[in-house]
Structure formats: structure tokens, C-alpha cells
Structure 1
Amino acid sequence: MTSNTFDNSNTYRDSRSRRLIENWLEPTGVTLNGNNPWDLQIHHPDFYSRVVRQGSLGLGESYMDHWWSCERIDQFIERVLLANLGERAHTRREKLVYQLQTSLTNLQSKTRAFMVGEQHYDFGNDLFEAMLDSTMCYSCGYWKEASTLHEAQVAKLDLAARKLQLEPGMRVLDIGCGWGSFAEHAARHYGVHVTGITISREQAELARRRCKGLDVEILLEDYRDLEGRFDRIVSIGMFEHVGQKNYRTYFDTVERLLAPNGLFVLHTIGSNNSTIGADPFINRYIFPNGVLPSVSQIMTPTENRMVMEDWQNFGADYDRTLMAWLGNIEAAWPGLPYDERTQRMFRYYLASCAGAFRARDLQLWQVVFSKRRAGRYDAPR
């Protein structure tokens, strides 16, 4: 094959791929090299074939490689999802490989549980301190009456505390305590003893410093290894790392550790359906082995063992939370010791997730469970 023949073949392939992408985008109002903030500006001729071949992973990686840009990635993703094009982001090969992995392997086993901590949560406390507010909450804020990110995060922490009906002296378990946000809030304002667990060494170290002098114990431990008895249990932004093969084990653990009259608050991102899948970009670069649960996947393993007392959805608030994080990290980036590719990775991750929540493709649930306690339960809002 001559060089000209090869070049012509590449040109035909790229032209065909471009037409295919333009057809996909037609119902979204997104234009290639257009003038709207949600339009894509293409900087590399192989962008089209890469996205057709690799789907969502190719879209995200090509952004990291500066093959395209977009003033408002969040608006671009929102439009794509509202046009029901999300399924096109997953190639046949990617779906097949993921199905084989999830059927043959427990991706969230005890031996693999620390992977997400090492890859993402241990990325660097300096980066997360710049991105988050002073509570160091890395989960959705509650914006009902808040006007700032800090107010929204404090409101979220206190909402969970009030749902738990905390009283001084209670023993509280925080599964997936992060940098100690809830542990610090509950111990300081409600006078309870908190045991927090995390699988991130960086998180554990900072959480211990932040909770110094409070009745808080921070452990670097997997939830499956826990022993003891707790009056209340909370889990904020951790259930996404449990995985469908471990849901029953997770709730077995909660039931075993929770006192007879105890309450459990589960705060988790949720999926609109029960299909087991993961966005390949998020899975590779942000949260390896993460799986979002559906309503039925949460409820099925709790049947005949716990009472679902309350279910609140404030997923729309995650859009505003993510955009606040994005604004923080963009403003702080010149002073952070990371390269431009890492910046573009975080920008794409935060903005695309904001668009997904805005399109209501993702949800955020706070669910309250009890162990068949007597009497009425009125959830605060």
C-alpha cells in the first residue's frame, strides 16, 4: 500500500467518523467547532475516529490530550444525556469486557478494596484541600437553604446527624469516613463517640489531625473486618465502592454491628436502573471498580432484616456541588504542583459529572434504616 493510499484511507475513515458523530449530536444542539459554550472545538484530526472506536474513554482521554476543548463541558454532557445518547458512550467491546470482569471477578473484594484509596483518595491532600471546603466533605452538599459550598456541606452533615437522632454518649460508626468530616461534626456538636474507617492512608492521617482532641477514633480498615456494637451507623459517599457482589455482605455487617434500637443512614449516588456498568473514563482515572446501586439493589438485601424509614433524593444538588468544586480547583491550580494533563482530567471529571446530575441521569439518596424499632420515625428535612 502506498503512502497516498494510506493517507486517503485515513481521510475517508476520519470523514466517515465525523459524519457519524455529527449525526449523533444533531438532536443535542451541539455543533462541532460552533460558537455556543457547549460546542466542541476540535484540535486534532484523529479525534473523530478515536471517539467512534473508544467511546466515552476516548472522549475523556482525548480531552486530557488536548485534542478538543469546550467552554462548558457540563452543558455539553447535559445535552448529550438529555438526548438519550449516553448508551452510545459504551462500545460493544467495552461492555463485553466489563460484563466478563464483573461476572468472573469480585472487583471490590477485600484484596482489591484499597485500590480506589491508593489511586484517587491518596492523590494528594493538597489538591483536595484546594477543591473542597473547610469541612473536607467529598460528597453532595445540601443546598435547600444554603448559599455557599460550606453552608451546603454543613447542612448535609447536620441533616444526616438529625436523621440519626444523635444523643450525647452514643457510639457512632462512620463507614467510609473520608477526611473525618462527619466524625468531627458529630463529636463536636452532638457529644457522641465516633469510630471512623477509611481505606485511604492520606485520608486517615488528615482525619486524625482534624479530629484531634475530640472523642473520635480513625481506623484504616475494611468494613468487613469491623467488630463491636454501635448505637448509630452512617455511611456518606462510600457505598459506591461496595459493588453488587458485596451488597448483602455490606448490609449483613451493618445489621450485625447496629444496636437493636439503632438507626443507619446511607448516603449514596444512585443509578436509574439495575444494569451493572461503569463509565470507562471514571473507572480508569477516578474511581476504579466503582458501581452505582439502583433502588432495588439497595432494598433487596435489606428485606426481612431492616425497615426503610425514609428515602430522600437531592441529586439535583450535586450539580451545584460539583460546579463549586470545579471553580475552587480552577482558581487554585496555578499554586498546585500538578501538570496540565492532570488539571484537564479533573476538569473533565467534575464538569461531566455535573452535567450528568443536571440531566438527572444520576441521583443522590439519603436512606434511613432501622432494626424494626417501635414507634413513629419522622425524618427531618
Structure 2
Amino acid sequence: MPIHPFRHRVERLLGEADVRVVVDAPTVPIDPARAPADSRCDPCVMQVHDERLYARLIEQGSLGLGESYMDGWWDTPCLDGLLFHLLDARLDKRVPGIAARLDGLRSRLLNLQSRHRAFVVGERHYDLGNDLYQAMLGRRLVYSCGYWRAADNLDDAQEAKLDLVCRKLGLQAGMRVLDIGCGWGEALKFAAQRYGVSGVGITVSQEQAEYARELCAGLPIEIRVQDYRELDEPFDRGFSLGMFEHVGVKNYRRYFEVARRCLREDHSTGGGLFLLHTIGSNVSVRRTDPWIARYIFPNSMLPSAAQLARACEGLFVIEDWHGFGPDYDRTLQAWRDNIERAWPSLPARYDERFRRMWRYYLAASMATFRSRRSQLWQCVLSPRGMPGGYAAQR
């Protein structure tokens, strides 16, 4: 059988990332125990089952890599390790694919996160089914990075993160708190039970809202299905945990204007406090990875530090900027371990192709944090600057 014309080119590129290609090798299932956070999976092997893969990678870049894995065209015993190798070698920059170019053009011409598009990610991702997220996220349905500084398991890491947020905001009994992108309501529930606050949470997901209302029943918490741009009412404090990735650079300024107008004046603190918890990028971009956009988070993008600072200018003083990106790698590993154990008991609608898609999503996310291509930031903002300065909490 003749060798595929693109095979040598792909093998050469992958070789630069210390990835070896093996053709028609037996499929070896992923074993989460073989992929610790510092693993480089040496030797790293891509097992090719379909030689059409080579052309697909050259033509489609990261979109073709992810879709071909979903289609079963290749396997590897350590998926997050292989993807780490590729990102660490910057191969995604050398083989961007036509989809990345088209997405870049689209993002410049259109506001992909406009108000009428705001609910798309809720319908396509967050409304997949609470059973999937309950299986993956642990005791608390918190779909953002845990704080592992003094934790050794996922549930403790998520509780530590929620408490960190409350301490950074200086929550006190009687305060009214806004949660932009409240998910399944765990953060507001925690704040109400531990710190005696009341609050409003907004989400673009119907399923999340229904679950959150049941979770917070009996507490002074209101859950709404609402776009953040509609908010115009007073709060003492505000936070947003893992929602800003859906806002988009064309809307960053508007987002912070909304957050600013919703904070009551408080002369003891220079105005209310707002905490932004978001994944961040080392460089300023206008779009996300094409595979992530198509299959996981439509119309998403990661902000850079420069974009955040520009959007806040004149509206907020940045009191504290706390980065703990490596904690997200560990959080994702815990989510993967949970979902792999639970998969046999999940409904049949989550078929094998969906399983490979979800496995690829978690592994690719681990790789971005492990390679330090993505960061996790918590920024504490005040409208006027706190008199005497802000005492940072860790």
C-alpha cells in the first residue's frame, strides 16, 4: 500500500513535539491514572487507524484533530499528555487550518456574543443534562476552577474556592449580592448559608435555573434566566465565576458598565466590590479554538490581561489580581476521573461519539493549563478604590 502523501509531513511535525506515529496499532484505552499533572507521557504515541487523518490535520488544523478523534481515526494511551506536547510545541500556530482563519474573520465582522446570541451556549452546552454534570462536578455543582491550596479532593477544593470568593468580597449578613452566570446556584447558596446574605443569580440556561431554584428553596435567593445587559438594580457586592468567557471582546466594556451601575455606593469601601473569576489568555485574541467553538462553547473567547484592563479603565480600580491557573489542571483531572467512573450509568443518549468528544474536551483543557497557555484569574474591583488599600485574601 502506498504511503499517504501527507504522512511524512505530519510525522515530521508531530516528531517536533516528541509525538511518535504508529499506524494500525491496537487501540489502548485512556487510563486516567497514567496522566498526572506533570506527566509528559514519554514516549508519547498517536495510534493512527485511518490514513485520511493526515490530510485532515493539514487542512483543518485543531478542528480536524478533535473531530478525527471523535470519529475514532486515532487514539493514544494518554490523551491530555499528547495534547500537552502539541500545545507546548506551538503546533497549533503552525497548522491553524481554514476554520481558524474563517472564525477570525467572522469575529471581526460580527458581534458573536450579542444579546440575541447570548442564550445559544445555554441551549447547546449547559442544557445538555443535569445528570451529566452531576456525575462530573462532584458534590457541589460548581463548573469552574477549584482552589487546591489546602485541599486534597475536589469537593474541598470547590468549597475553598467559594469561601475565598466570599472572603475577598468581605461578605456580611444583610448584604445583597449579584451572581452573574450563577450556574446551578451553589455559590449563592453557600454565601447565603455561611455569610447570611441575600442575592440574585442570573443564567442563560433553563435547566440550570430550574435546578438552582430547587437548590436554593427557602433561602433569600432569586434565580432568573436573563442576559446580563438587562441588569439595572442595586447590590452591595457582585461576583461572576466562569461566565466572562462568554462575553466577547466587543462587549467587555458594556459588561463592566453593567457591573458598575449595579453596585451601591459605600463610602467605607469606596463603593461596592465586584469579583471576576475567569479563564484568561496570555495574548489578546478575538475568537476561541474552532473545535471548542463548534462542539463545546459556541461564541466563546478568553480575555487577555490587556483586554480586561482596558475594559475596566475609568470604571473600576483593580484592587487584587490573583492567578492560580495550575489549579484548573487538577480540577479537570478530578472531573475526568468522576465522569469516566460514572459513564456506564449515564443515559444512552450520551453515545460513544459524545463520550470521545467529552473526553477530548477535558483533556484539551488540561493541556492548555498545563502548558500555561491559559490562566485562571480572580480580580477584585472597586469603583473608587478602597480607602487605605485592599487587604488581599488567600
State the TM-score bracket (shorter-chain normalisation). over 0.9
The aligned counterpart of 1:287 is: 297
What pairs with 1:309-348 in structure 2 (closer than 5 Å)?
A: 309-337=319-347, 338-348=350-360
Aligned to 2:80: 74
Q: Distance in 2 between matches of 1:37 and 1:205?
A: 47
Pair 1:277 & 2:287 matched: yes
Counterpart CA distance in 2 for 1:106 and 1:366 is 26
Structure 1 unmatched runs, 5+: 1-7
Task: Report if the CA contact (8 A) 1:37-1:72 is conserved.
Answer: no
Shift of 1:37: 6.5
Q: Does 1:229 align with 2:234?
A: yes
Q: Which residue of 2 aligns with 1:31?
A: 20
Structure 1 position 27, deviation (Å)? 2.3
Check if 1:110 corresponds to 2:110: no
- Identify if the C-alpha distance between structure 1 residues 280 and 46 changes in structure 2 by more than 3 Å, giving closer, same or farther: same
Distance 1:88 1:186 in 2: 46
Matched residue of 1:308: which SS? strand
Task: Pick the aligned partner of 1:22 from 5, 11, 33.
Answer: 11
Cα separation, 2, equivalents of 1:112 and 1:365: 26
Aligned residue among 372, 377, 380 for 2:390: 377
Question: Alignment partner of 1:291: what SS?
Answer: coil
Pick from 283, 299, 313: which aligns with 1:303? Answer: 313
1:277, 1:233 → 2: CA distance? 27
Equivalent residue pairs, number: 369
Separation in structure 1 between the aligned mates of residue 141 and residue 299 of structure 2, nearest angstrom: 23
Q: What is the match of residue 40 of structure 1?
A: 46
CA shift in 2, pair 1:96/1:71, >3 Å? same
Q: 2:204 touches 2:227 (CA, 8 Å); kept in 1?
A: yes
What are the Cα deviations for residues 83-128 of structure 1, in whole angstroms up to 9, with x where unaligned? Answer: 222313521x323312221122110011000000000000010000
Q: Structure 2: which 5+ residue stretches go unaligned?
A: 26-40, 266-270
CA RMSD of aligned residues (A): 1.4
What's the offset of the Cα at 1:375? 2.4
Counterpart CA distance in 2 for 1:148 and 1:328 is 12
Asked whether the 8 Å contact 1:114–1:200 carries over to 2, the reply is yes
Contact 1:64 1:341 in 2 (8 A): yes
Give the CA deviation at 1:277: 2.7
TM-score (norm 1): 0.94
Residues 203-261 of structure 1 show CA distances to partners (whole Å, capped at 9, x for unaligned) of: 00111111111111100000000121010010000000000110011011011111222
Q: Distance in 1 between matches of 2:44 and 2:116?
A: 42
Identity percentage of aligned residues = 53
What residue number does 1:185 align with? 190
Shift of 1:49: 1.0
Deviations 1:317-339 (A, max 9, x none): 10010111011111100011111
Query: Which has the higher mean CA deviation after the structures are superposed, 283-292 or 36-45?
Result: 36-45
Corresponding residue number in structure 2 for 1:367:
379
44-53 vs 344-353, which deviates more? 44-53
1:139 match: 144
CA–CA separation in structure 1 for the residues paired with 2:118 and 2:311: 20
More helix by share: 1
Distance of 2:153 and 2:100 partners within structure 1:
39
In the alignment, the residues of structure 2 paired with residue 335 and residue 214 of structure 1 have an alpha-carbon distance, to the nearest angstrom, of: 32
Distance in 2, matches of 1:73 and 1:258, equals 44
| Partner Cα separation in structure 1 for residue 275 and residue 55 of structure 2 | 46
- Residue 36 of structure 1 deviates from its aligned partner by 5.1
SS of aligned partner of 1:140: coil
User: C-alpha displacement at 1:181, in angstroms?
Assistant: 1.5
TM-score, length basis structure 2? 0.91
Aligned to 1:268: 278
Please say which of residues 79-88 and 43-52 is displaced more in the overlay. Answer: 79-88
CA contact 2:284–2:303 (8 Å) conserved in 1: yes
Amino acid at match of 1:292: L
Mapped partners of 2:42, 2:380: distance in 1: 43
Opposite residue 369 of structure 1, the aligned amino acid is L
2:59 to 42, 53, 64: 53
Contact 1:37 1:71 in 2 (8 A): no
Q: Does 1:353 align with 2:353?
A: no
Q: Which amino acid aligns with 1:49?
A: A
Aligned with 1:31: secondary structure? strand
**1:140 deviation in Å?**
0.5
Q: What are the within-5 Å matches in structure 2 for residues 148-163 of structure 1? A: 148-163=153-168
